[in-house]
Every structure is written in structure tokens, then in C-alpha cells.
Copies of this chain bind each other. A is one copy, B any other.
Amino acid sequence: MVHGREHLRRIPESTIRRLPAYLRALENLKCLRTTSVGLGEATGYSSEQVRKDLAYFGAFGTRGVGYDVRDLGQQIRHILGLDQGVRAVLVGAGHLGTALVRYTQVSSGDVEFVAMLDNDPQVIGTTIGGIVVQDVRQMVSVVKEQTIRLAVLTVPARAAEEVAQDLAKAGIGAILNFAPVPILTDQHPPGSVLVQSIDLTLELQALAYFVSEHDVFSPA
């Protein structure tokens, strides 16, 4: 079947966010065909959710026959743009940044870090995971020259907004932000850079609620 860009634009973000999980499950399956029930069990989503998500791009499992594992995986990789490869830059080559680059090199999934940037003279010029860390002041030219569209931000909170603004100007399309602060909240036009924030402290604090003993509540 042929997909038009207009068609894909209508896929909800929540569905897009589940597609990588389906893809991983398909790549791990040791079989030729599977069903929405099988994909659901492998990913933790309901079979109804799987069916609904896949129907958005015209993949309909045939009752009793199911989905072709290899074909469905290729379709999802194509939709996500992974078949073209995705070049990413990491800004902030500290402990967390280094761990993230090494982690993605092991379980890559077609997203490849091609550049790392930092502002620490002790770190600039060192090699981490085969990548030479460059001066963050060269960020705009690095992003433009290598046509990088995806950035991962592991800089301190105080530096995050300025770096994010510069990344936006350089043409970055999406930022995975680990700095513990909201970034690019005031975009013109809104949403031109997609920001996905992962704030480890906030995650841990929210989980604290669910494990704390709420037996006695004293007057506030």
C-alpha cells in the first residue's frame, strides 16, 4: 500500500510512542507470523490497543492468519524513519551523557550518536564510545554540517535553556531533555521543536508517593 504524508500526520502521538515497543517485540519474535494477542503479550499492551494502533497505518491482521512479522517490522521502521538512520548529538558529556551514549551503542535501534559536545576543557578532545568530544561552542556548525535533527541534553539545569535555544536555531527537530528544568516552553511558532523531558528526580519523587505509608496524616 502507499502511504501519503497527510495520512501519517493523522497518527496520534500516543500511537507513535508505542510503535517502537511493537518493533522491538517483532524483532525479538522467533516466528514468521504473529497476532495482536501475541504482540500485546510481548509489549504489555492490550490486543485491542495493538489492533487499533496498527490500523492507523493500514496494517490489518487477518483473522486466523495474523501479521507477517518481517513485513510489519519493516513498515514500522519505515514509518518511524529508522530505515533512513537517525543522527543524534549529545550535549553534556558527564556521567549520565556518557552512560546514555554507551547504552544506545549497545541497543542502538538505528539512532546513532555522531557527535558529543561539552564545555569542560578537560573533557573536550577526549574520546567516549569512539566519539571525540567537541567544544559546545561549535554546536551550531556541527549540527548543520552533519544535518543532525535529534539532540539529547544532559547539561546542568542552568545551561539547558540557552543550549536548547541554540539547538532550535541550528535546526534540531526534537530534544530528549534530561536537564531538571522545562525548556523551550515559549516557542515561536509553538511546537516547532518537540521536547521530551525525562526528569529522574521527579520520577523518583512521584514513585515515593506510592511507596510511602500514608496511615497517619497530621494537620497541616
Contacts and interface: CB of A to CB of B under 8 A. Distances in A.
B201 A80 contact: no
A89 to B, nearest CB: 12
Most interface-central of A24, A100, A107, A220 (chain B CB within 10 A): A220
Given A24-B202, A176-B203, A209 B79 contact: yes
Interface string A164-198: 00000000111010001010010000000010101
Interface residues of A, number: 76
Contacts of A80: 205-206, 208-209, 212
A202 B21 contact: yes
Nearest to A23: B205
Given A17-B206, A99-B98, A211-B149, A200 B104 contact: yes
The 7 closest A-B pairs by CB, nearest first: A81-B212, A173-B211, A20-B205, A149-B211, A44-B182, A3-B217, A95-B99
30 contacts: A2-B217, A2-B219, A16-B206, A17-B206, A24-B202, A44-B182, A44-B185, A71-B220, A78-B220, A79-B209, A80-B209, A80-B212, A81-B213, A96-B100, A96-B103, A103-B200, A104-B200, A104-B204, A107-B180, A107-B201, A110-B208, A150-B204, A152-B204, A173-B211, A174-B207, A174-B210, A174-B211, A176-B204, A194-B207, A194-B210
Interface of A: 1-5, 8, 16-17, 19-21, 23-24, 41-44, 71, 74-75, 78-82, 84, 86, 88, 94-96, 98-100, 102-104, 107-111, 149-150, 152, 172-174, 176, 180, 182, 185, 194, 196, 198-215, 217-220
